[in-house]
């Protein structure tokens, strides 16, 4: 059985149920075997290679040493390349009265080299009048942790609340257990071509372009243009929630919220026949909305069954918007205080999920989220008739509850229902087929073998194995002269009349 409590999911053994739960128990007790599915390690994480955090964290990150492949073909990090060194500022009085020193993260020139070795990257760009223009930063812990998760990046921008204005850009992923995982942040002057292009060029220094990579965003035209120019090999999909809000506006006399709901159901169809069926019904009921879609947006950008890349089931940018909500108060801070707040929150998240991943029993191979999903599907799998088609290639036919027959190929990890193909963990039909294989003596396949490596506990632990350290006090900073001599001025702004109105609020988010 499964016990779900406040976002923390745990598994219990069910001694009475000898059906699919038995498969899960056997899977937990089985020895971990790394498959050949583009996997970088050779076994289950252990205290020796990832659970020790004393001293420098890089000493205990055996599988992802600095300078090794980032997880993308042909991509490497040159740790001796100091071109990422930032043009920082010192001793400049800004509107908020803060003496700005953007090099607060570095205690000395040697500390800069150490930080580069750990993989952290930051850039600052000034305009022609030496005024602050752009900022980009990505912590080394997040960059390396991204190697252990699905290559889907969600990007969005949100406005800053200071007198200088501007936009905070967040590029985030989901960890193996579907938690927020910010990779990089940017501060720019607006969501326009030049600022988005600058941000993605800097992001490319930590996340290289490759066909496996997928971006998900809203339909901001500058963002779309910049991704296509900077990341020509990647795939780009649109947030179906934002698209649903545009679609419903094209319907004048209908229930607009119902239009948006029906569109999202349509967009999430796993198979083309299911999509076409919903398409016909949608076009008949909401012809104006259907015409808007046909005219303005290609189906491959939003329809799950037509998307050419590996998007898994990530269809919206709600993850980024949730993060923007977490930093709502910080977006009203001055630049350095906002960065401190972001780093502090990342440190909190890393510590929280590191503990969760390490507290999970070592014989659990699948992350809690997927284990719960698989368990739910197990309950229905026991009721479906299954026929063996080819025991050598592990092909089976499973009768669905709707009367259709689905062909499962356990060797290739596919099913004609397409849930297995897209979600990358077993559908109800694949689980039924797996139970059938257990009738054959000597079968070595286990439940976790049918899941993507990105849903394994080892990957979840690797995502958080590095430590994010707090910024030291200003009194400890050692600033080289060539940095101290570089001065930058604050952005120009027009001060509004009257007193700024602010509503009191308490941030209850954790």
Distance from the Cα of residue 258 to its chain's centroid: 29
Residue 106 has pLDDT above 90, yes or no: no
Contact 394, 449 (CB under 8 A): no
Q: What is the DSSP letter of 55?
A: S
**pLDDT(49) > 80:** no
Give the number of C-alpha atoms closer than 13 A to the C-alpha of residue 346, restricted to the C-beta side.
Answer: 28
For 254, the enclosing helix (H) or strand (E) is none
Q: Would the pLDDT of 152 be above 70?
A: yes
Most confident stretch, 45-59, 240-254, 302-316, 474-488: 302-316
Give the pLDDT of residue 489: 82
More reliable by pLDDT, 259 or 40: 259
* pLDDT per position as a tens digit, 192-240: 999 999 999 999 999 999 999 999 999 999 999 999 999 999 999 999 9
Q: Place 402 in a pLDDT band, splitting at 50, 70 and 90.
A: confident
DSSP alpha helices (H): ranges in 182-334? 193-203, 221-230, 240-249, 256-267, 272-285, 287-296, 318-326
Structure tokens at 429: 């039909």
Greater model confidence, 163 or 351 = 351
Q: Phi-psi region for residue 38, left (φ > 0), alpha (ψ -120 to 50) or beta?
A: left
**What average pLDDT score do residues 331-356 get?**
91
Cα distance between residue 203 and residue 136, in whole Å: 8
Please give the structure tokens belonging to residue 390. Answer: 């080819």
In 3D space, the residue among 143, 107, 108 whose CA is nearest the CA of residue 122 turns out to be: 143
Provide mean pLDDT across the span 309-331: 87
Q: What is the Cα–Cα distance from 303 to 281, expressed in whole angstroms?
A: 16
Residue 427: which pLDDT band, with cuts at 50, 70 and 90? very high
Going by C-alpha positions, the residue among 361, 354, 365 that lies closest to residue 465 is 354
More confident residue, 307 or 53: 307
In angstroms, rounded to a whole number, what is the distance separating the alpha carbons of residues 330 and 103?
19
Residue 49 DSSP class: I
Confidence band (pLDDT; 50, 70, 90) for 102?
Answer: very low
Percentage helix, strand, coil, to 5, in the chain? 40, 15, 45
DSSP three-state, residue 286: coil
Say what the pLDDT of residue 324 is: 82
User: Tokens for 72?
Assistant: 């993308």
Instruction: Please check whether residue 168 is in contact with residue 331, taking contact to mean a CB–CB distance below 8 angstroms.
Output: yes
- What pLDDT sits at residue 24? 60
Read off the pLDDT of residues 262-282 as tens digits, 9 standing for 90 and up: 999 999 999 999 999 999 999
Q: Where are the domains of the chain?
A: 2-27+367-450, 75-239+316-357+465-484
Residue 323 has pLDDT above 50, yes or no: yes
- pLDDT at position 342 over 50: yes
Whether residue 247 has pLDDT greater than 80: yes
Q: What is the structure's pLDDT at 401?
A: 86
Average pLDDT, the chain: 77
pLDDT band at 76 (very low <50, low <70, confident <90, very high): very low
Any idea which of 116-125, 159-168, 271-280, 295-304 has the lowest mean pLDDT? 116-125
Q: Return d(Cα 14, Cα 28) in angstroms, integer.
A: 13
């Amino acid at each position: 059985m499964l016990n779900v409590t406040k976002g923390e999911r745990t598994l219990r053994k069910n001694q009475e149920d000898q059906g699919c739960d038995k498969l899960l128990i056997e899977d937990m007790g089985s020895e971990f075997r790394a498959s050949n599915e583009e996997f970088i390690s050779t076994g289950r994480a252990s205290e020796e290679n990832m659970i020790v955090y004393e001293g420098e964290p890089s000493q205990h990150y055996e599988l992802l040493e600095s300078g090794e492949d980032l997880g993308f073909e042909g991509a490497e990090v040159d740790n001796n390349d100091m071109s990422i060194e930032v043009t920082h500022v010192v001793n400049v009085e800004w509107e908020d009265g803060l003496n700005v020193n953007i090099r607060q993260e570095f205690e000395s020139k040697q500390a800069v080299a150490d930080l580069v070795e750990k993989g952290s990257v930051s850039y600052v760009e000034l305009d022609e009048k030496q005024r602050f223009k752009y900022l980009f930063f990505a912590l080394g812990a997040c960059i390396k942790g991204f190697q252990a998760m699905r290559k889907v990046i969600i990007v969005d921008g949100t406005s800053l609340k200071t007198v200088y204005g501007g936009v905070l850009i967040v590029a985030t992923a989901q960890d193996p257990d579907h938690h927020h995982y910010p990779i990089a942040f940017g501060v720019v002057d607006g969501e326009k071509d030049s600022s988005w292009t600058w941000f993605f060029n800097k992001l490319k220094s930590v996340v290289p372009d490759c066909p496996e990579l997928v971006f998900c965003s809203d339909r901001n035209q500058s963002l779309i243009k910049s991704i296509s120019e900077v990341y020509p090999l990647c795939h780009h999909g649109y947030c179906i929630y934002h698209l649903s809000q545009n679609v419903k506006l094209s319907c004048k006399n209908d229930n607009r919220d119902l239009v948006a709901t029906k569109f999202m159901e349509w967009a999430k169809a796993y198979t083309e026949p299911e999509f076409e069926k919903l398409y016909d019904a949608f076009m008949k009921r909401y012809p104006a909305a259907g015409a808007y879609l046909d005219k303005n947006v290609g189906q491959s950008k939003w329809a799950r069954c037509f998307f050419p890349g590996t998007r898994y089931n990530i269809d919206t940018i709600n993850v980024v918007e949730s993060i923007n909500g977490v930093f709502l108060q910080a977006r009203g801070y001055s630049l350095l205080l906002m960065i401190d707040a972001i780093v502090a929150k990342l440190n909190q998240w890393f510590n929280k999920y590191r503990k969760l991943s390490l507290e999970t029993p070592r014989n659990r191979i699948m992350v809690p989220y997927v284990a719960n999903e698989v368990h739910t599907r197990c309950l229905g799998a026991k009721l479906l008739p299954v026929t063996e088609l080819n025991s050598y290639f592990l092909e089976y036919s499973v009768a669905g509850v709707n009367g259709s027959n689905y062909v499962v190929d356990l060797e290739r990890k596919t099913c004609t229902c397409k849930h297995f193909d897209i979600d990358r963990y077993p559908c109800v039909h694949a689980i039924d087929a797996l139970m059938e294989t257990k009738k054959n003596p000597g079968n070595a396949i286990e439940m976790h073998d049918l899941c993507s490596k990105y849903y394994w506990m080892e990957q979840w632990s690797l995502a958080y194995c590095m430590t994010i350290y707090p910024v030291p006090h200003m009194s400890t900073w050692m600033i080289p002269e060539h940095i101290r001599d570089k001065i930058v001025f604050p952005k120009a702004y027009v001060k509004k009349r009257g007193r700024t109105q602010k509503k009191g609020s308490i941030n209850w988010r954790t």
